[in-house]
A and B are shown apart, each in its own frame.
Chain A
Amino acid sequence: MSARALFSSVLTALGLAALVSAMPPAQAADTPDPAADAKAFRDYFVKKFPKVKLDDFVNGPYSMNEDMRRQWEEKEQFPPYEFALEAGKEMFATPFKNGRSYADCFANGGIGIRQNYPMFDAKEGKVVTLELALNRCREANGEKPYSYVKDEMASLTAYMAFTSRGKPFDIKIPDDPRALEAYQEGKRYFYTRRGQLNFSCATCHVQSPGERIRAETLAPALGILNAMPIYRSEWSGMGTISRRFTTCNSQIRGVPLEPQSDEYRNLEYYLSYVSNGLPISGPGARP
């Protein structure tokens, strides 16, 4: 190779290197992009159900089935969650033995804040759900924690959700790699098949919303947590998000994880984030 040819080759290589470095960095295929995920998630459901108004997805199966919707609208005249709502309001206002109350543990005295949960706690480096925050509040004030799945916890969260009705989910993912990892882990859990039936959350709530599984009409994943907690006729009572997650796992013949395990906290983080902008409608009622 002549000196001239060598010089020309070096110049070409340098030019290419400069061009590459000037280009924006390509995002690796596996790098989480929550905003893009949320848009794709919403677009999927809007395209799949063009007749359903965006905000109506929070009404779960009632947005998919006109007959069920009419029955539900009639039931809402005397909603089955009303007793829990009243009980929750009273519990929320009742001071702990030390004189403090739930209001002391939350921003804005705990009123109208449901839409901000779950949130990422930078100090702990983990996701904190409303249910977890309520029990931590109790323990910090010398009270025993409640069961995560029903009864008192369902009543308290029912009241707090009620004070947020109509407010859009506003879940934040701070600029913290641990928050992004929690989100990604939640997403992974949502799409991972488990249990002897080999179902993922997405099998029912992405691939089959509106379809029946035995006697139930499956709810769309978009807005699925906005109505929580819920009164379920199947349960003959109220249930929290923890109850929903654990029973979903049991139904596909998987051993449920412990309520408020990291996996469930991350799952709630993911599902809530991709429903950002949709209104809180809880407490809700479901068949």
Chain B
Amino acid sequence: MIRIIGAAALAATLLSAALTPARAASEDDFKTAYAAADAAEKQAGALRNQWTTTEAALAAARKAAEAGNFDQAAAQAKEAEALARASIFQATSEKEAWKALEIK
């Protein structure tokens, strides 16, 4: 009986989560996401390996925020952070990997 009640409670929770619309991003959400992206891009800059696409995503995030579209602004900022982190990974792995391309 307890198992049945537990299963029903879980099903109700999942149904409720599925039916509840996703919360719109707030200005604070954007600011948090942007700060993380900006910090990662600064790290890529210190490694002398920024990507134009990261810069474009950061600019798009700022533009969307200025227009009050914080959903899009937060999404663009998260995209920028992912790109910046990829560029950091690239710069870090290339510290040794470049040697594989060298003509010898």
Q: Which residue of B lies closest to A251 (CB)?
A: B52
| CA distance in complex: A194, B50 (Å) | 9
Interface string of B78-104 (1 = CB under 8 A from A): 000001001100110010011101111
B48 touches A263 (CB 8 A): yes
Residue in contact with B98 in the complex, picked from A192, A196, A206, A207, CB distance below 8 Å: A192
Write out the residue numbers on chain A whose beta carbons fall within 8 Å of the beta carbon of B91. Answer: 194
Q: Which residue of B lies closest to A203 (CB)?
A: B101
For chain B, what secondary structure do more than half of its interface residues adopt (helix, strand, loop), or is it mixed? Answer: helix
| CA distance in complex: A194, B101 (Å) | 13
Write out the residue numbers on chain B whose beta carbons fall within 8 Å of the beta carbon of A250. Answer: 52
A27 to chain B, nearest CB (A): 13
Interface string of A229-272 (1 = CB under 8 A from B): 00000000000000000000010011101000001000000000
| CA distance in complex: A255, B99 (Å) | 23
A187 on the B face (CB < 8 A): yes
B90 touches A198 (CB 8 A): yes
Knowing A40-B103, A200-B98, A206-B103 are in contact, say whether A255-B83 is a contact too (CB < 8 A).
Answer: no
- Please provide the chain B residues from 36 to 74 with a CB less than 8 Å away from any CB of chain A in the complex: 48-53, 55
- Please provide the chain A residues from 7 to 46 with a CB less than 8 Å away from any CB of chain B in the complex: 37, 40-41, 44
Write out the residue numbers on chain A whose beta carbons fall within 8 Å of the beta carbon of B90. Answer: 193-194, 198
Write out the residue numbers on chain B whose beta carbons fall within 8 Å of the beta carbon of A194. Answer: 49, 90-91, 94
- Please provide the chain A residues from 157 to 193 with a CB less than 8 Å away from any CB of chain B in the complex: 187-188, 191-193
| CA distance in complex: A263, B91 (Å) | 14
Residue in contact with A253 in the complex, picked from B51, B101, B103, CB distance below 8 Å: B51
A191 touches B48 (CB 8 A): no
Give residues in A with beta carbon < 8 Å to B.
Answer: 37, 40-41, 44, 187-188, 191-196, 198, 200, 202-203, 206-207, 250, 253-255, 257, 263
- Other A-B contacts than A193-B101, A196-B86, 13 sampled, CB-CB below 8 A, are A191-B99, A193-B94, A193-B97, A195-B51, A196-B52, A196-B83, A196-B87, A200-B98, A200-B101, A202-B103, A207-B101, A254-B52, A255-B50
Q: Would you list 19 pairs from A and B whose C-beta atoms are within 8 A, ordered by A residue?
A: A40-B103, A192-B98, A193-B94, A193-B97, A193-B98, A194-B90, A195-B52, A196-B87, A200-B98, A200-B101, A203-B101, A206-B101, A207-B101, A250-B52, A253-B51, A254-B51, A255-B51, A255-B52, A255-B55
